[in-house]
Structure 1
Amino acid sequence: MADKLPFGEGDSINRPPLFRGVNYQFWKVRMKIFMHSTNKGIWETIENGPFIPQVKRDEVLIDKPSFERTEAESKKAKFNWITKNIITSALSCDGFFRVSQCSSAKEMWDILEVTHEGTNDVKRARKHALIQENELLRM
């Protein structure tokens, strides 16, 4: 039935939007909205990296063992796993294998950005090429 509709069927608000390898910018904005709407801590994991509770021992900060964590620390640390699950659920098989070995959701997000948008140098080069192409069209 949905195939007969001229505009297709809408996506679910309970599932992340699927990235099929095209139109990364559109998917990226939709994923950001999806993560914000799910829980603010999920998007903070992308922006700041995983929360790792630490404790000071002998004037040195070390990762706090899981059995010493408070309930709030455990919940905040779990956001990395939740975010990784959301990202991998939104990717096709190729995208999944590209990021499956990452240790954090932030690392996954950064790899996807570099793969589909390029580094800042690549973005700048594309921008200059488009400006030059536009100027040549004016002539």
Structure 2
Amino acid sequence: MAFAQLIFRDGGSSNKPPCFVGEHYDLWKICMQPYLEPQGDDIWDAVKNGPYVPKIVIDNKEEKKIKVSWTNDDKRKVLFDKKAKNMLQSALGMDEYFHVSHCKTAKNIWDTLELTH
């Protein structure tokens, strides 16, 4: 138990994610996935596959919808990435946060952490 306390200074409960401070990334990743998954399949999908982008088909060509034309369902689905991004950012120490502060999506944060550790 003392070893785990050194790695994850706080967090690791159902309402607070394990905190990654730059060491033992592989262990943090293993702990973070089970934290994210119960938040909802759509949250985990946003981390693994990227954000939902509302689209419309015009002349047999798929295009991004403009925000004013989003349906309530589009708005709900777009929020999954924002929630996932917030959860990931909340799980990072200050140095790690600054490494990914430029990231626009949860998937981008996850992939950047993977590449840098």
Q: Distance in 1 between matches of 2:2 and 2:109?
A: 35
TM-score after normalising by structure 2: 0.85
Task: Give the AA of the match of 1:25.
Answer: D
Structure 2 Cα separation of the partners of residues 11 and 58 of structure 1: 49
Q: Percent identity?
A: 37
C-alpha deviation, 1:80, in angstroms: 0.9
TM-aligned CA deviation for residue 33 of structure 1:
0.4
Q: Pairwise mapping of residues 84-123 of structure 1 onto structure 2 (< 5 A)? A: 84-116=85-117
The structure whose RCO (Cα within 8 Å, separation 6+) is larger is 2
5+ unaligned residues in a row in structure 1: which ranges? 117-139
What is the DSSP-based 3-state SS (H/G/I as helix, E as strand, rest coil) of the residue aligned with 2:92? coil
Q: C-alpha separation between the residues in 1 aligned to 2:78 and 2:11?
A: 33
Q: Provide the C-alpha distance between the structure 2 equivalents of 1:10 and 1:45, rounded to a whole number of angstroms.
A: 22
Match of 1:27 in 2: 28
Give the structure 1 partner of residue 49 of structure 2. Answer: 48
Structure 2 residue matching 1:80: 3-state secondary structure = helix
Task: Select the structure of larger CA radius of gyration.
Answer: 1
Task: Give, in angstroms, the shift of residue 15 of structure 1.
Answer: 1.0
Contact kept? 2:46, 2:107, Cα under 8 Å: yes
Question: May I ask how many residue pairs the two structures share in their alignment?
Answer: 112
Q: Secondary structure at the match of 1:101?
A: coil
Displacement of 1:6 in angstroms is: 6.0
How far off is 1:96 after superposition?
Answer: 0.6
Are the aligned partners of 2:81 and 2:105 in contact in 1 as well (CA < 8 Å)?
yes
Kindly report which structure 2 residues correspond to 1:1-20, keeping only aligned pairs within 5 A, or say none.
11-20=12-21
Report the TM-score, using the length of structure 1 for normalisation: 0.72
Structure 1: 4+ residue segments shifted above 6 A: none
| Cα RMSD (Å) | 2.1
Deviations 1:10-38 (A, max 9, x none): 74210111012111111101110011011
